[in-house]
Structures are given as structure tokens and as C-alpha cells.
Structure 1
Amino acid sequence: MYILAPSVLGADFTKLGEQIKRADQAGAEYIHLDVMDGEFVPSISFGMPVIKALRGITKKIFDVHLMIEQPERYIEEFAACGADVITVHVESCKHLDRVIHQIKETGAKVGVALNPATPIETIIHVLDLVDMILIMSVNPGFGGQSYIDYSTEKIRSLRNLLNERGLKTDIQVDGGITSDNVNVVLDAGANIIVSGTGVFKGNLEENITRFHEIFKCYN
């Protein structure tokens, strides 16, 4: 199944609730929420109060991406705020296995993210424990960056590895993706696409429709 996850970092924060409602009504399956702490990444975004407030305006899947140090401190709180999927970075977890099980205990689905230069080998031993792997195709921390080309081979290698193991794990890709280049990551094996400015810049409804029309070619 191919899924679009609009990243709210690309939205107009003065109209955030309205734009999330529009994305919902236009058919976006997930809402991607990037939580940044100013330590793991340079920027600071938002936290539990914003997610809790937004939870009341849509029933779509809340895909919460924790770009924070020691995410284990807040897993239960993010789940309580309405996170359906909680993704942590392998680079920020001292004991990744423990954090994975911590997320599972909340009832949320588990995602593990890899920064662009982090090799797939770092998560080989937990592949069968997670629901989704997020390949960052930009260095995290800022929206509007350009897609890093070597991400394509990384996605392809991961999909091949999952296929070899008989795993149906989702591959999400985040960074520099628009309807103009999404075919590249879909061809490589990704099935959940995060896009911020590619969704929210210009006509939101037309942008979402364009992504879904491309997805139809892969179903």
C-alpha cells in the first residue's frame, strides 16, 4: 500500500489546523509530525501540547517522528497525546532494542529512522521487530532541502534485504520529495512518502491528488 504523509513542517503554522483538515479531506492517509529538540537537530519545532491539540481535528494516522535525544524519556507521553506511529532515530538511542519494546508496550506502531550517512547494517538485528523504517533523504532539522541522491540506492538495498527475509516492513522516505521526483523512491522500493513543501506549497488539494495519481501506477 502506498501512503502519503504530509509533513506539517511545510504547512503555514498560522493556519495549521485548517491545513491539516484540508489534507485530511483531500485524502492524505498519514499526518507526519516532526518533533525537534534543538539538540539532536539544530531546530526546535513543537511537542506534546501541539500534537494533543491537533489530535482533536482529524482521525488520520499520526506519524510522530522524534528527532530528539533520549526519546525513551517521552514515549508514553507521545502515545498518550495520540501518536499512532512513533519513530525514533537509531543515532539517538543508546539501547535501541529497549526503546522499540517501550513503544510496542504503548500500543503504537514502531518506526526506526536512519540519517543519510547511517548504514542499514545498524538495524539488521531489529528488522523483524519494527513496523516501519524511515530513510532520511536529507540531513534532518530543516524543511525545504534537496533530495540526497545516494538515498536511492540505500532504499533499494533495504527493500532487497527485507524481501530476502520475507518481511513486509514499510519503508518511509523523508526529505526533498515532491511529485516531480517521487517516482525515484517508489521505484527503489519505498511505500510511505513524506512531503512537506511538496504538499503544502501551492494548491494543497491538487498536490495531494497528483501524488495519489502517481501511486496508482504502482498498486
Structure 2
Amino acid sequence: MFHLSPSLLCADQMNMASQVEQLEKLDFDWYHIDVMDGAFVPNFAFGTDFVQSLTDFVSKPIYVHLMAENPANHVEAFAKVGADYFCFHIETTNNPFRVASEISRHNMKAAVALNPFTPVASLESLLDYVDVVTLMSIEPGFSGQKFMDFTYEKIMRLKELIEKRNAKVLIEVDGGVNGAIAKKCIDCGCDVLVGGYFSLFDKNGSLVENYQRYLKDIGEASISL
């Protein structure tokens, strides 16, 4: 079984409420919310006001993927508006343990993200302090990029590290994932798939059609809740 997380950055921004209403009727695990500061990545997206509005509207957990410098400075703000998961990039801090501890102190689940060319070995000692590791399979900042094939090897290496430490950590893959790629990621040990332009929000179909096709491509009757 695997987990599915729709990326609202890929939703129709002019019809967000309608898209979320449709998503609420589907089986998935949490909403993936990209927060960008224009510094760590060359783009801007979402913030605390959006997360606050979403928490008043949805029934499923919210996973904040922070692509910003100084992540510890933003933990409290997102905790106050109801985020359930807080994911920071390991490249943005010299003290990831402090950030993970701060996240847990604010009663959120801690997650850490790695850019495509950051080796998984860089977070081995952090695995005891986080619940999820997000492997970026594209350069962060913009949706719609092509999946980087070496991500498969990173998934397998990370899975080995997790099993070696007997840690309870989910592996999430984010970026350029269609049905065929998703199946390969799962086979390599991925637990969570971020649904974006190449899957749930493919403009050639409706959300429901895309969702059903995605599950069919992966070969799963249902997803894990």
C-alpha cells in the first residue's frame, strides 16, 4: 500500500475551492502545500493565510513543504494555523536537529526534504527525529519538470538507511511523477507520492478521471489511509 498527497500548487488556482471540494471526495492521505520564499527557490507560493483557510475547509491533514531559508523561524507560525506536518529542506540549516525538535515541540510531525543532488547519507543521523523524508525528483521551485531517473537509486539507498537504523520513516517522492514512474518508485521502496501535473492535475482529464487512471497505472485497488 502507498500514500497519496495532492500538491495544491498544481491545482487550478482560479478554481481552488472547487478543486478542493472534489479532492475531499477522494481517498488520499494529506494535502501537500508548497511554501516558497523567492530566495531558497526562485518562486513564491502560499503562506500562513492560505493554510489557515484550508484548515477551515478540509478534513484531511496538511503537509507544509517549506522551501525557504531559516526554517526554524517559521515553525510556530504554521503550527498556529493548523499544519499537521512541517517539512524543511536540509540545505537551509546548519542545525537540522534543532529544527526537527522545534517542529515536534509545536505538536507537528517533522519532515525533511532533500534536493536532487543532495546525498541521502547527509541525513542518516536525522532519521530518528523525523517522520517523513521528501526526496525531490526535480529541482525545487517550479512544477511540471521532468522526473530525474537517478531518484530510483536514492529511494533504495534511503530505504536501506531507514532499515539499518530500524527507523519509522516514510519516504515521499515529489516532482514529475506519472503513473508509470509512481509504480517504479513504489517498487524501489517509496511510501508517499506527491500528485501533480503529471497525475492528479493532468489537464487532459478531470480530477476523478486522473485519480482513477493513476491508481490503475500503479495497479492498486485502493490507497492506504
- TM-score bracket, normalised by the shorter chain, equals over 0.9
Instruction: Tell whether the 8 Å contact from 1:85 to 1:108 is kept in structure 2 after alignment.
Output: yes
How far does the alpha carbon of each residue in 1:26-67 deviate from its partner, in whole angstroms, 9 at most, with x for none? 222211000001000000011000111111111111011000
Q: After the TM superposition, which residues 162-173 of structure 1 pair with which residues of structure 2 at under 5 Å, given as runs?
A: 162-173=162-173
Distance in 2 between residues matched to 1:86 and 1:74, nearest whole Å:
10
1:208 aligns with 2:211: yes
CA distance in 2, matches of 1:211, 1:80: 34
Q: What's 1:126 paired with?
A: 126
Q: Relative to structure 2, which stretch is displaced further, 93-102 or 160-169? A: 160-169
How far, CA to CA, are the matches of 2:219 and 2:157 in structure 1?
Answer: 21
Identity fraction in percent: 37
Where do 5+ consecutive residues of structure 1 fail to align? none
Aligned length, in residue pairs: 219
5+ residue gaps, structure 2, are none
CA contact 2:124–2:161 (8 Å) conserved in 1: no
1:83-162 mapped onto 2 (5 Å cutoff): 83-162=83-162
Between the aligned partners of 1:93 and 1:157, the Cα distance in structure 2 is 23
- TM superposition score normalised by structure 2: 0.93
Q: CA deviation at 1:215?
A: 6.0
Aligned match of 2:38: 38
Q: After TM superposition, give the deviation of residue 179 of structure 1 in Å.
A: 1.5
Deviations 1:166-194 (Å, cap 9, x if unpaired)?
22310000000012321111111001100
Tell me if the contact between 2:155 and 2:185 (Cα under 8 Å) persists in the aligned partners. Answer: yes
Partner of 1:187: 187
Give matches, 1:13-92, under 5 Å: 13-92=13-92
Letter in 1 for 2:36: M
Which letter maps to 1:7?
A: S
